[in-house]
Amino acid sequence: MEFFPKPGSVNPEKGSFLLSEPFLPDPNFERSVVLLCENNEDGSFGFVLNKPSILTLSEVLDEETAIDIPLYVGGPVQQDTLHFIHRRPDLVDEAVPLGNGIFWGGNFEQVVALLRSGIFIDEDFKFFIGYSGWSEGQLKKELEETSWIVSEETDPEIVFNHDSDQIWGDILKKMGGEFKMFANYPQDPRLN
């Protein structure tokens, strides 16, 4: 596609968005937005922000307290693991900064205590089962194949938005120019 940067010209930093190209045939990443948490010579990983799970956090934690917080499918890798991002480093120690006030992980016992206390703020956290992972050089190859659009304009309001159907299109619209057109592409080009 002519709208994409030249292959090899983009090396996304942690905290960037990876948006799947409009017709990516992989069902795990169809119209996905991935928040990149790490990208180095050993590989890359992040979490899909806009694929809700049918489970809630209380079901995964086996909590007696009803914690009806949505879970998201962070990706196809190790879906038996639980991960989280947040914007409350004041409440969760040991968090890894991703930029723009967004943090990955931290002391999970503190998070559970917040959940039990009732002072937990849903708009400040997002929980995932599994993650998206790329082996050494794999993401670079996919970028060269123009499978992903990179946005380094990470907006916490978009990251923690629970209206997951809108995230992919909202970011493309915000990017403007040619990318704005992608937001209006039908999922099935035969329907255009």
For residue 130, give its domain range: 17-191
pLDDT band of residue 118 (cuts 50, 70, 90) is: confident
Contact assessment for residue 15 and residue 158, using Cβ atoms and an 8 Å cutoff: no
Contact assessment for residue 1 and residue 146, using Cβ atoms and an 8 Å cutoff: yes
The arithmetic mean of pLDDT across residues 118-145, rounded, is 91
Contact assessment for residue 172 and residue 149, using Cβ atoms and an 8 Å cutoff: yes
128 is a domain residue: yes
10 is a domain residue: no
2 is a domain residue: no
Q: Tell me the pTM.
A: 0.90
pLDDT exceeds 70 at position 151: yes
The arithmetic mean of pLDDT across residues 111-118, rounded, is 83
In the numeric block, which tokens belong to residue 86? 């947040």
SS3 label, residue 191: helix
Q: Phi first, then psi: what are they for 170, rounded to 5°?
A: -60, -40
Contact assessment for residue 23 and residue 149, using Cβ atoms and an 8 Å cutoff: no
Positive or negative, the Cα torsion across 83, 161, 132, 8? negative
58 is a domain residue: yes
5 is a domain residue: no
Q: Please report, for the domain that includes residue 100, its CATH number.
A: 3.40.1740.10
What would the DSSP string read from start to end of 86-152? ES-TTTSTTPEEEETTEEE---HHHHHHHHHHT---GGGEEEEEEEEEEETTHHHHHHHTT-EEEE-
110 is a domain residue: yes
Question: Of all residues in the chain, what percent carry a pLDDT higher than 70?
Answer: 90
How many domains are contained in the chain? 1
108 is a domain residue: yes
SS3 label, residue 42: coil
Task: Indicate the pairing of strand 125-135 with strand 70-73.
Answer: parallel
